[in-house]
Structure 1
Amino acid sequence: MAKLESIQRIYFIGIGGIGMSALARYFVSRGVRVSGYDRTETPLTKALVAEGIPVHYTEDITAIPLDVDVVVYTPAVPAVHAGLVYYREKGFEVVKRSDVLQWITESSFNVCVGGTHGKTTISTMTAHILTHTGYGCNAFLGGISANYNTNFWSSERHVAVVEADEYDRSFLKLVPDVAVITAMDADHLDIYGTAEEVENAFVQFSQRVKPGGCLVSKYGLSRSSELQAAHHFTYSFDQTGADVYAADVKVMDGSYHYNVIANNWQLNNVVLHMGGLHNIENSVAAITVAKYLGIDDEKIKAAVASFKGVKRRFEYLVREEGKIMIDDYAHHPQELKALITGVRSLYGNAACTVVFQPHLFSRTKDLAEEFAASLDLADEVILLPVYPARELPMEGVTSELIARYMKHSNVKLLSKEEMLQYVGQQRPSLLVMSGAGDIDALLEPVKEILTGA
């Protein structure tokens, strides 16, 4: 805390990132003077500016502030970035986002949610339960909560719910009192090299739980026996071998009704208004954390029932009779599989069209066959060009690589403009948009086409 108390002025390079913006908002809440840079203006940077945070978009050292105590950067920013190079050469204190999260979590009670998918929904749901029930928490999230329309909120209570990001091994700097591990699938192989190294990092993450703390991990993880904590609970959607699982799941009016069963407790008549069977499983994890913290049963159920979800996580953009449009951030094969399976659980055999934008050349190359298998679950697939993010193009790696592995022939490789044209012509009644790149910029145009707005 002493380190945090000394910061009066702070500058963020890559302030528009979802994790970076949460930290920027945290410092504003503490009365610190915050400013930052990002490459392009986005809805999130516009929101930050509206909240009083100056943001500039040119890589120009004449635009950067010199009276700052700390400079924070995201690993997504290139090492040759002019501002980053300048601050380092001039001897400023330059740290990663993960270093700042370490400072924060070293002096609070922390619930840290990690995993290669599901962590944003579970961390947001957990933070919502703690807030809605009056328990209280500071929330540092990797998505925009639909309930609060932000990825950060503060509380007088010295409790933090933190989304623990495995990219660049950032989560190994956190100090959890309660840790959640949702999945340890191969991802970020540009950082880790092998699937085994990804798993090793999650084992290390579990070892960072404080003495006497709690670990909640998904049932059936390949290295489960190596995940150690004083209190360790496994959770599942429906596997009765888990310590906590869902039972008697029913779909009523587009919502899920179910019971949550544990070894020594039971929570009956839980209602979740968020689509996707995987989100029932996510709720089981969040409920397990809440029960461990001693929160009242009825308060937990009321919080889950009031949970509106996370922007871009099974988010309904159009929900009318005979016209459904769902948006999701899914960018890993397992996430895509969960997304499409979740759509099927609600809409049965209705013809499902999926528009998918692959994210990163490296991930597309490493997981093309797995992406194809997940997308084969849809009736029709439109593949947009790969979104490069921080990467340069790789020879032979395009969206066509995924299409080659797909078993059904109803797949189209379209540009963004061609996709908009196609949707206008076909007007699919059940459309799913998915990806972690700039596909979100297409959501409003597609919605307008489908609704005629």
Structure 2
Amino acid sequence: MNLNKINFFYFIGIGGMGMSSLAKYFHTMGKIVYGHDQNKTFLTKKLEKDGISINYHDNIEILPKWVLSKECLIVYTPAIPNHHKQWIYLKKYSKNIKKRSQVLSLLIENDICIAIGGTHGKTTTCTVLGHILYNVGINVTAFLGGISENYKSNLILNNGLSGTKIFLVEADEFDRSFLYLSPNIACITSFDQDHVDIYPKNESLKKAYITFSNRIKKPYKKIFLCSEESFQSNNAIYFSVLKKENYYSDHLYIKENKWYFDFHTPTEIWRSLPLPIPGLHNLKNVTAALAISDYLKISKEKIRKALFLFKGIQRRYFIHYQSSKKIYIDDYAHHPTEINALINTVKECFPNKKILGIFQPHLFSRTKFFEKSFAKSLEHLDILILLDIYPAREFPINGINSNSLLKKINMKYKEISTLSKVLEKIEKKNFDIILTIGAGDIDSLIFPIKKWLCQRYGSK
């Protein structure tokens, strides 16, 4: 399919992080973009503000007239339920229909593509690298899995410049979407079992990653692999935070509440670089971004400047409130490994503080598979408020719920709450730090928690 001949785009599930960045891109390119989603969110409101029309009712009568023409492409997410009326109708009658991952592969096929994969760390690595490429004046278009605080967007667009065009994307393993991509440079930040509804065994996940690694192509034809967590590859360049590899970081230290580290290239050492997002796990992600940047021959002075200018990523260790009395941090962590990394980092940054964690499990299948691991991770908190499982695309699984998870958590101060009751429960707790943790709609708590903290303890 030639996307240049497509003038109209209709996105089913336009409010998703990946879908919204793609919709915004085509809108910026002068295409007519419409979409559907179930609920109004920060992302859909932003798209509407940019001039994209969105409907919120599953009704075929409200579809635009051009939706079945040859000039229109229907873009959908695998998360759309099979009973969705618009989806059933468009699947049956539309001339052109493709998954988001297929559209992305078509978009990037004739340009240089850098794809960032991995169970953990994709968004952080991709956002840091996109920020560096943008700041040094490279013609980059980056599709992010989170909202960059620098650009207030999940799309970084620098395509008005001359020079080689580079697409930077996240290689998402869910639904095997990353197997549509054939990047010139790939990166795998971590390898850990997840998406158990797609990969019931770890071996099936590893096999998919190996297949992805074999899809890299010339020019470059290189894959950056974390030496601690990845497999072997003939085209690999290795990076690490524990071993002396092609690229590695060490000497991580904290000075005046800011984190710094040394970065080693194959030929030199870059000393005392700022780590813009705290934690050893984020050092690994930043190391990957720096390794690719150095490989692309970007100067260390420009990279250092870009790191100092980096403001963070919403929902990735994002500090929303900090005063002498209280701290509030929000994080997207939805896997036991990620929760462990988050809590350990908070304790390193703020030792001897009492931590209240509010956790929303994401998916019944993930909760079932990792139930014991989730319990162990959450036990590192001082106080826990556990929310109902966020189902996303799934139906309930018999016997798997927040009550069953709570029983396995060995800690004194724990309870279950609905999303609407959280704030009144927080008000009665004795804590120093609040953490909101999860990948569902727990982010709807951010504004009310910030507002309450400001009213009770003063502005930051």
Range class of TM-score, shorter chain: over 0.9
Pairing 1:364-375 to 2, within 5 Å after superposition: 364-375=367-378
Show the counterpart of 1:335: 338
What is the match of residue 299 of structure 1? 302
Matched, 1:161 2:164: no
**Distance between the aligned counterparts of 2:91 and 2:438, measured in 1?**
34
Look up the SS of the partner of 2:2 in the other structure.
Answer: helix
Which one of the candidate residues 190, 199, 206 is aligned to 1:192? 199
Aligned counterpart, 1:233: 237
Structure 1 residue corresponding to 2:399, chosen from 396, 401, 416 = 396
Equivalent positions of 1:98-177 (< 5 A) are 98-156=101-159, 157-177=164-184
1:451 and 2:415 matched: no
**Alignment match, 1:358:** 361
1:153 to partner: Cα distance = 2.7
Deviations along 1:92-142, one digit per CA (max 9) or x if unpaired, are: 211100110110121111110011111011001110010011123101111
For residues 180-225 of structure 1, the C-alpha deviation after alignment (integer angstroms, 9 at most, x for no partner) is 101221111111221211111111111111144221111222x512
One-letter amino acid of the structure 2 residue matched with residue 293 of structure 1: L
What corresponds to 2:262 in structure 1? 259
Give the corresponding residue for 1:287.
290
* Deviation (angstroms), 1:351: 1.4
TM-score of the aligned structures, taking structure 1 as reference length:
0.95
- Of 435, 439, 444, the residue aligned with 1:441 is 444
Secondary structure of 1:55's counterpart equals strand
DSSP 3-state at the match of 2:261 = strand
Provide the secondary structure at the position in 2 that maps to 1:425.
coil
Tell me the secondary structure at the aligned position of residue 78 of structure 2: coil
Ranges in structure 1 where 5+ consecutive residues have no aligned partner: none
Q: Distance in 2 between matches of 1:273 and 1:154?
A: 21
1:322-342 Cα distance to aligned partner (Å, 9 max, x none) = 211000011111111111111
Which residue in 2 is equivalent to 1:47? 46
TM-aligned CA deviation for residue 44 of structure 1: 0.7
How far the C-alpha of 1:421 sits from its partner, in A, is 1.2
Tell me the matched-pair count: 447
| Contact 1:12–1:20 (Cα < 8 Å) also in 2 | yes
Matched-pair contact (CA < 8 Å) for 2:247–2:265? yes
State the match for 1:382 in structure 2: 385
1:26 paired residue number: 25
* Structure 2 counterpart SS, 1:412: strand
Q: Is the 8 A contact 1:12 1:37 kept in 2?
A: yes
SS in 1 for 2:357: strand
Q: 1:220 corresponds to which letter in structure 2?
A: E
Q: What SS does the corresponding residue of 1:426 show, helix, strand or coil?
A: coil
- Worse-superposed segment, 123-132 or 84-93: 84-93
After TM superposition, the structure 1 stretch with the greater mean CA deviation from structure 2, 404-413 or 99-108, is: 404-413
Q: 1:216 aligns with which of 214, 224, 227?
A: 224
Percent identity over the alignment is: 38
- Measure how far apart 1:349 and its partner are: 2.3
Correspondence for 1:96:
99
Query: Which amino acid is 1:186 matched to?
Result: Q
Separation in structure 2 between the aligned mates of residue 425 and residue 379 of structure 1, nearest angstrom: 15
Letter in 1 for 2:237: F
TM-fit CA distance, 1:403 = 2.4
Q: Post-superposition shift, 1:388?
A: 0.8
Aligned-residue offset at 1:400: 2.6
Q: Following the alignment from structure 1 to structure 2, what is the Cα–Cα distance between the partners of residues 55 and 260?
A: 45
| Ranges in structure 2 where 5+ consecutive residues have no aligned partner | none
Separation of aligned partners in 2, 1:116 and 1:350: 30
Instruction: Supply the AA of the counterpart residue of 1:197.
Output: S
Shift of 1:427: 5.3
Contact 1:427 1:450 in 2 (8 A): no
Task: Please provide the CA RMSD for this pair.
Answer: 1.5
Report the 3-state secondary structure (helix = DSSP H, G, I; strand = E; otherwise coil) of the residue aligned with 2:120.
coil
Q: In structure 2, do the counterparts of structure 1 residues 241 and 404 end up closer, same or farther at CA, with 3 Å as the change threshold?
A: farther
Separation in 2, partners of 1:338, 1:392:
29
* TM-superposition CA deviations, 1:305-351 (whole Å, max 9, x none): 11111111000110111211000011111111111111112112211
Compared CA separation, residues 65 and 417, structure 1 to 2 (3 A): closer
Q: Which residue of 2 aligns with 1:180?
A: 187
Q: Would the aligned equivalents of 1:26 and 1:153 in 2 still touch at CA under 8 Å?
A: no
CA distance in 1, matches of 2:270, 2:107: 33
Establish whether residue 15 from structure 1 lines up as the match of residue 20 from structure 2.
Answer: no
CA-to-partner distance for each residue in 1:160-187, whole Å, 9 max, x for gaps?
1101111100011111111110122111
Kindly provide the amino acid, as one letter, of the partner of residue 234 in structure 1: Y
**Deviating runs (4+, > 3 A) in structure 1?**
none
Q: Distance in 2 between matches of 1:381 and 1:15?
A: 33
Alignment check: 8 A CA contact 2:189 2:284 kept: no
Structure-2 separation of matches of 1:79 and 1:130: 40
* Contact 1:215 1:228 (8 Å CA) reproduced: no
Query: How far does residue 259 in structure 1 lie from its aligned partner after superposition?
Result: 0.6
Using the size of structure 2 for normalisation, the TM-score is 0.94
Q: In the aligned structure 1, how far is the partner of 2:87 from the partner of 2:373?
A: 37
AA at the equivalent of 1:130: L
